[in-house]
Amino acid sequence: MSFRGVIEIIDRSGLLRSRVRVEHLPFRIGRALDNDLVLDDIYVCPHHAEVREEEALGLFDLNSVNGSFSGLRRAREARIALPSSIDFRLGHSLLRFRAANEVLETTAVDPLATSRLFAVDRFRWAIPALLACAGALLIERVLISPQMLQWGAVASAVVPALLVILLWALAWSMANRLVSHRFHYLGHLSIAALGVLVINIIDAFCGYLGFTLGADGFMSAVSRLLSGVLLATAIYGHLRLISRGSGRRLLVPAAAVAIAFVTLSLLPSASDGNFSSEPKLATSLKPPAAALRQGLDSDTFYTEIERAMDDADAEATEEE
Amino acid sequence: MRILLITLAFVSLLPPAWSEEWATEEVFARHKDSVVQIRIIDAQGGAKRSIGSGFLISDDGRLITNFHVVADFVHHPGEHRAEWHTGDGASGPLQLLDVDVVHDLALLQSPDLSGRKFLAVESNLPNMGERIFPLGFPYDLGLTIVEGTYNGLLDKSLYERIHLTASINPGMSGGPAIDRNGNVIGVNVATAGNQVSFVVPSKYVIGLLTRDDAATRGELIGRIGEQLRANQEHYLGELLSTPFVITRLGPFEVPGAIARYVNCWSQTDQSKERLIDRTELSCQSEDDVFISGTLKTGAIRFEHALRSTRKMGAVRFWSLMERGFGSFYGDLGGEKSTMTGFSCSGDFFEHAGTKSKMMVCVRRYREFTDLYDIVQRQIVLDRSDQALQSTLILTGVARERGLGFARRFAESLRRTDATASAAAASEVASPAPPVADSAADGGSASP
């Protein structure tokens, strides 16, 4: 008999798992071993359905318990016509029929092989990223240490942070393994390390810019926003590695996590119902050479303070 | 030394012919009926919340005690009631007529006490070393008389106080300090322990008696606000009428002991391990005004911290300055019901060629209009290896005087060593201030 087409078995993330050639008719599908295509799916009958030709090529349900379905439709069908590239479901299995005249790749391609993201899943990304991240954490640590540097102490402060990054990457790899049978540990590690590095850079940059321009409040809001965007990007990257699939639908969960993060970070200052008898004097301070803007004169400066007093007045009268 | 010892022994063997030991007994016997215990009773729990002493001042049952004894009753009249108790077990309710919060006095009345013996008030101060007898109910132990000596008025106090060498203990607050003739020379108010005690001079009692009574609680709160505003107007006005006393701190000139009641301490820390040399100068007025158990006001505090480094890079040095600037140790007290939260504002500040970064936080007293606490911190930005950080805390000040003082303070900081190249450079870089401006400040910087 001649070649009539190919049945592809699709996995949960919508990717091709395996293929089988339909070379004779009828071509029977089911859970029993004597089928042409054996589906080890407990929701599939031993002899569930078969492909045969009655006027046209079709999939015929063999009075199965759970039925056969076309595409994503919910009505069970006794007969499903099989033009090219049609999806059908038996039990919990998703199958796709490819007609004989379709041009198919002889060897299925790993979808990640063509993705640029896949490149980070290499030592040449992961090691430099981790080192750069360690460097950033080290600098941060050194900057806040008032004593002579004891490198042991400095390193011991950085190591826990690095361990957290390594574990974070491991957690994503485990999830990756569950979903798509691969770890991509180096990829997840690169993403995490780069994320921490970039967050540090954003933070430092915004701090300097805030000081230079005398716009602390604005720049810290910008910094928070950028951190949120960065977090969304990192989570998108992790999800993308896991799913290997279309990226667009992953944007939603990534954005949701980032928005949740930004909201949570804003929450303490927004709902500052807790009374504090200590003022919050924090401001950005950098070497004087970085202070490009001229200072306000007394009149202008204390007019601003009068505005703060007006705020205090408003607060005092509104709750009286 | 031997001579001194012998002399001491000789004196102690002498019979106390000039002794006045009889006086204490007689003073006590004559005046014990005029002193009562004041109890502030928690209305819910039914037991005492705080205790103090008080003394009768007129035959219509008026008595004087400390404001801090009755503060809970003033702030939360619904939750408390005030009672007097005598040593012989009699008691009755009290009504609050007026307060002098600045001098920690309160005027109360109970009709049940009318007709009882009362004490006369002597506004002239005793002679140095004169015997004075504070009376009161220490630790709820019953009426006690203490012998003490008058040691003059406190020199270094913003609020006038008599220094009495006597053991005044908790519970005696509000009791009278009387001379041997039974005249009240002051009201027991505080102790520093070891016989060092403080008494409010009786001229303030007379001041309280000559005013009309406050009719309502609202009126009373209004008066407290008025007293606090008048008080800050008085001392800040005085401070602002003359140039600040300027002290040198390293290469800087800073405000120092700006008044006799402002006490300064300094400390230098140059340990090799720290990489940063620090010199700190902190000054504060010696007294404050009691508002409630959690809130004191009417004080000036400031601190200058000079930090320099020779071994640390500028980025690291300023990163540490940033941390230091953000941390504030010094709870200003108060609760959500009495104070607003802090509103802060900050920016670069430039005066007479000195550039600094400054943050100012203010909060208001909810019940008192035009009374604020101000916290101001500035750090001079003229050299990458040296930083002067000055913090000023003003409590219970009105808008005009408070900001006037804060402004004068901020403008007073300046570097004196013109040789420092960085300082010179920054002065050249920034436009010179108009001459009229610095003249108008009244020469605040140089004495």
Q: Say which of A287, A289, A320 has its CB closest to residue B366.
A: A320
- Asked whether the beta carbons of residue A283 and residue B362 sit closer than 8 angstroms, the reply is no
**Which domains are seen in chain B, by residue range?**
20-213 (2.40.10.120), 228-440 (no CATH)
Task: Determine the pLDDT at residue A1.
Answer: 56
Mean pLDDT of B184-189: 93
* A271 contact residues in B (CB cutoff 8 A): none
pLDDT one-digit tens code per residue, B115-140 = 888 999 988 899 999 999 999 999 88
Give SS3 for A302: helix
- Asked whether the beta carbons of residue B332 and residue A277 sit closer than 8 angstroms, the reply is yes
Give the pLDDT band of residue B9 (cuts 50, 70, 90). very low
Helix (H) or strand (E) holding A164: helix A151-180
Query: In Å, how far is B93's CA from the nearest CA of chain A?
Result: 30
Whole-number average pLDDT of chain A: 87
| Most distant pair of Cα atoms in chain B: their distance | 82
Give me the count of residues in chain B. Answer: 447
> Picking from A268-282, B292-306, B385-399, B412-426, which range would have the lowest pLDDT averaged per residue?
B412-426
Give the pLDDT band of residue A111 (cuts 50, 70, 90). low
Query: In Å, how far is B61's CA from the nearest CA of chain A?
Result: 35
pLDDT one-digit tens code per residue, B398-430 = 999 999 999 999 999 988 865 444 444 444 334
Does A278 touch chain B if contact means CB atoms closer than 8 Å?
Answer: yes
Task: Determine the pLDDT at residue B312.
Answer: 86
Query: In Å, how far is A206's CA from the nearest CA of chain B?
Result: 14
Q: For residue B385, which of B253, B251, B246 has the smallest C-alpha distance? A: B251
Mean pLDDT of A277-288: 89
Q: Say which of B316, B360, B362 has its CB closest to residue A142.
A: B316
* B377 contact residues in A (CB cutoff 8 A): 281
Give the pLDDT band of residue B15 (cuts 50, 70, 90). very low
Complex ipTM value:
0.79
Q: Say which of A287, A304, A315 has its CB closest to residue B318.
A: A287
User: A interface mutation test: which of B336, B357, B399 has the most A CBs within 10 A?
Assistant: B357
What percentage of chain B carries pLDDT values higher than 90? Answer: 56
Does A284 touch chain B if contact means CB atoms closer than 8 Å?
Answer: yes
Task: Determine the pLDDT at residue B22.
Answer: 56
Is residue A272 over pLDDT 80? no
Task: Determine the pLDDT at residue A246.
Answer: 64
> Picking from B172-186, B282-296, B427-441, which range would have the lowest pLDDT averaged per residue?
B427-441
> What amino acid occupies position A164?
V
Task: Determine the pLDDT at residue A273.
Answer: 62
> Picking from A81-95, B6-20, B73-87, which range would have the lowest pLDDT averaged per residue?
B6-20
Q: Say which of B275, B335, B379 has its CB closest to residue A146.
A: B275
* A292 contact residues in B (CB cutoff 8 A): none
Mean pLDDT of B196-208: 92
- The domain ranges of chain A are 5-99, 112-270
- Asked whether the beta carbons of residue B346 and residue A280 sit closer than 8 angstroms, the reply is no
Residues 6+ apart with CB under 8 A from A299: none
Residue with tokens 């001379």: B179
Task: Determine the pLDDT at residue B424.
Answer: 41
User: B interface mutation test: which of A205, A211, A272, A298 has the most B CBs within 10 A?
Assistant: A298
Q: Say which of B318, B348, B365 has its CB closest to residue A295.
A: B348
pLDDT one-digit tens code per residue, A11-33 = 876 778 889 999 988 999 999 99
Does A307 touch chain B if contact means CB atoms closer than 8 Å?
Answer: yes
Is residue B207 over pLDDT 80? yes
* B276 contact residues in A (CB cutoff 8 A): 146
Is residue B253 over pLDDT 70? yes
Which CATH number describes the domain made up of A5-99?
2.60.200.20
Mean pLDDT of A52-61: 89
Mean pLDDT of A34-47: 93
Mean pLDDT of A39-68: 91
Task: Determine the pLDDT at residue A299.
Answer: 93
